[in-house]
């Protein structure tokens, strides 16, 4: 009816992950005016059947609607483009054809990624895991660390050991060597933007391909240059999918400010503050928590059998998932808000002693005590 009366479909949502209703409108020959955030950007780029708008700009929304309904030539062009675009890009035959092209390309050009040393990997036999932040969690107390490593050694192949850190893989290797820590089976580095496995440091290229979605590093750097009080960290603090800044305590920023600024520039990134002094920009699909979930699904170790430990803001998402969360006794005030969360254990012990306390609290090496809230989330 809307198409028959020369109407227009308007979606002014703040964010739209995909946009199924936009495709339905396009298939019916109805031009669209939609938010510039999320799926509509791809749909209109493919179908050329409407206009993107800022959902907070009422004047721009009105002007785009008028453009469609007062210009028959434009309306007809968008209408025809939409129907054609849906057939070419979003129909089942189009999907199958694209899939077959990609599959044939993958078969004819196999990946040169090195093979996993699966015969020697504890990840194959493990049915539970301990994943911990490094700085101020795993390290900080030599005796506590030695005790924890002894516990892990005695636990044998049923327990996988991993680290999740904001450090790059190079800085991670340095600190592991400095503290005489054997290379873990899992290394989540650069705040969850890179995953490596075992002593051979095999990169998980599938994870990197997954998080590359809508990552525009150069544009993000330019946009963040407009904030006073931000200092780009040295090269060793940066990574391909991570941009890190030092924050001037006299010119504080909030996550909301940064997100709004990036949205106005048509950019998307995950914004993480930690220790009250550091700011990281990550791809929207990346974080320690998301990397942990990916690891859990890939290796078949349920999150409720994974103990995760941390001390600061960039550990929050990892701690608030369905895993067995442990906040060590020397935690930053950023995590105080999690104290009422029944699925997170606040240890009294500092550094590695807090991790050991968490292992005992959850009986990780025994039957594993899963908090009721975690069981309900399954």
Q: Provide mean pLDDT across the span 209-234.
A: 94
Shared-domain flag, residues 236 and 310 = no
Shared-domain flag, residues 146 and 18 = no
Confidence of residue 98 (pLDDT cuts 50, 70, 90): confident
Residue 181, pLDDT above cutoff 90: yes
Burial of 268 (0-12, 13-18, 19+ CB in 10 A): buried
Query: Does some domain include residue 357?
Result: yes
Query: Does some domain include residue 303?
Result: yes
What is the C-alpha separation between 283 and 102, in angstroms, rounded?
24
SS3 234: coil
Shared-domain flag, residues 354 and 205 = yes
Q: Provide mean pLDDT across the span 190-203.
A: 94
Shared-domain flag, residues 275 and 141 = no
Shared-domain flag, residues 199 and 79 = no
Looking at the chain, the number of H-run helices and the number of E-run strands are 14, 15
Residues 6+ apart with CB under 8 A from 374: 304, 322, 324, 343
Confidence of residue 119 (pLDDT cuts 50, 70, 90): very low
Q: Which residues of 226-262 are buried (b: 16+ CB within 10 A; e: fewer)?
A: ebeebeebeeebbbebbbbbebeeeeebeeeebeebb
Shared-domain flag, residues 221 and 300 = no
Residue 307, pLDDT above cutoff 60: yes
Burial of 67 (0-12, 13-18, 19+ CB in 10 A): middle
Of 231, 258, 282, which residue constitutes the final position of a domain?
282
Hey, CA dihedral for 215, 221, 223, 224, is it positive or negative? positive
Of 282, 305, 327, which residue constitutes the final position of a domain?
282
Query: Does some domain include residue 293?
Result: yes
Query: Does some domain include residue 113?
Result: no
Q: Provide mean pLDDT across the span 312-321.
A: 90
Residues 6+ apart with CB under 8 A from 242: 190, 191, 193, 280, 281, 282
Of 50, 73, 107, which residue constitutes the final position of a domain?
107
Residue 111: its pLDDT value, please?
55
Residue 377: its pLDDT value, please?
54
Bridge partners for 325 per DSSP: 308, 344
Q: Per the structure, how many domains does the chain have?
A: 3
Chain centroid to Cα 73, Å, comes to 43
Query: Does some domain include residue 361?
Result: yes
Range of the domain at 218: 214-282
Query: Does some domain include residue 112?
Result: no
Shared-domain flag, residues 16 and 101 = yes
Q: Are 202 and 208 in contact (CB under 8 A)?
A: no
Shared-domain flag, residues 53 and 72 = yes
CATH number, position 369 = 3.40.50.1000
Shared-domain flag, residues 218 and 357 = no
Residue 113, pLDDT above cutoff 80: no
CATH number, position 220 = 3.90.1070.10
pTM: 0.69
Residue 104, pLDDT above cutoff 90: no
Query: Does some domain include residue 206?
Result: yes
Shared-domain flag, residues 241 and 346 = no
Shared-domain flag, residues 293 and 372 = yes
Q: Are 262 and 223 in contact (CB under 8 A)?
A: yes
Lookup: tokens for 11: 């979606």
Residue 110: its pLDDT value, please?
62
CA trace torsion 41, 43, 48, 51 (10° rounding): -40
**Average per-residue pLDDT in the chain?**
91
CATH number, position 95 = 3.40.50.2000
Q: How far is CA 71 from CA 4, 12, 22, 25, 281, in A?
A: 15, 21, 21, 19, 42
Spatial strand order of the sheet with 243-247 comes to 230-232, 243-247, 278-282, 270-274
Query: Does some domain include residue 4?
Result: no
Q: Running DSSP on this structure, what letter comes out for residue 138?
A: I
The H-assigned helical ranges of the chain are 20-27, 40-47, 58-69, 72-89, 92-108, 142-155, 169-178, 205-211, 217-224, 255-264, 288-299, 316-319, 352-362, 372-376
Residue 146, pLDDT above cutoff 80: yes
Confidence of residue 286 (pLDDT cuts 50, 70, 90): very high
Confidence of residue 224 (pLDDT cuts 50, 70, 90): very high
Shared-domain flag, residues 255 and 293 = no
Which is more confident, 164 or 6? 164
Q: Residues 28-69: pLDDT tens digits?
A: 999 999 998 778 988 999 999 999 998 889 999 999 999 989
């Amino acid at each position: 009816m809307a198409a028959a009366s020369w109407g227009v479909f308007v979606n002014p949502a703040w964010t739209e992950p995909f946009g199924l209703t936009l495709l339905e409108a396009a298939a019916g020959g109805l031009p669209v005016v939609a938010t510039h955030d999320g799926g509509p950007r791809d749909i209109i780029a493919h179908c050329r059947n409407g206009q993107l708008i800022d959902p907070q700009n009422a004047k721009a929304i009105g002007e785009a609607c008028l453009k469609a309904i007062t210009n028959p030539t434009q309306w007809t062009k968008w209408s025809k483009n939409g129907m054609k675009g849906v057939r070419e890009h979003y129909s089942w035959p189009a999907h199958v054809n694209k899939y077959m092209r990609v599959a044939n390309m993958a078969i004819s050009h196999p990946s040169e990624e090195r093979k996993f040393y699966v015969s020697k990997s504890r990840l194959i036999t493990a049915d539970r895991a301990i994943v911990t932040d490094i700085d101020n969690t795993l390290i900080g107390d030599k005796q506590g660390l030695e005790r924890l490593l002894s516990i892990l050694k005695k636990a044998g192949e049923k327990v996988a050991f991993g680290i999740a850190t904001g450090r790059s893989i190079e800085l991670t290797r340095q600190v592991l060597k400095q503290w005489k820590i054997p290379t873990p089976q899992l290394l989540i580095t650069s705040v969850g933007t890179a995953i490596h496995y075992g002593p051979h440091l095999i990169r998980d290229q599938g994870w990197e391909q997954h998080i590359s979605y809508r990552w525009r590093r150069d544009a993000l750097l330019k946009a963040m240059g407009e904030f006073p009080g931000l200092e780009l960290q040295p090269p060793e603090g940066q990574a391909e999918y991570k941009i890190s800044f030092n924050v001037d305590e006299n010119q504080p920023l909030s996550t909301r400010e940064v997100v709004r600024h990036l949205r106005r520039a048509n950019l998307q990134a995950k914004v993480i503050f930690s220790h009250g002094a550091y700011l990281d920009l990550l791809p929207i699909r990346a974080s320690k928590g998301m990397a942990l979930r990916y690891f859990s699904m890939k290796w078949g170790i349920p999150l409720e059998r994974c103990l995760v430990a941390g001390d600061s803001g960039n550990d929050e998402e990892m701690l608030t998932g369905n895993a067995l969360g442990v906040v060590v006794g020397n935690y930053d005030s950023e995590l105080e808000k999690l104290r009422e969360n029944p699925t997170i254990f606040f240890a009294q012990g500092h550094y590695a002693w807090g991790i050991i306390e968490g292992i005992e609290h959850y009986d990780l090496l025994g039957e594993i005590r899963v908090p009721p809230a975690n069981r309900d989330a399954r």
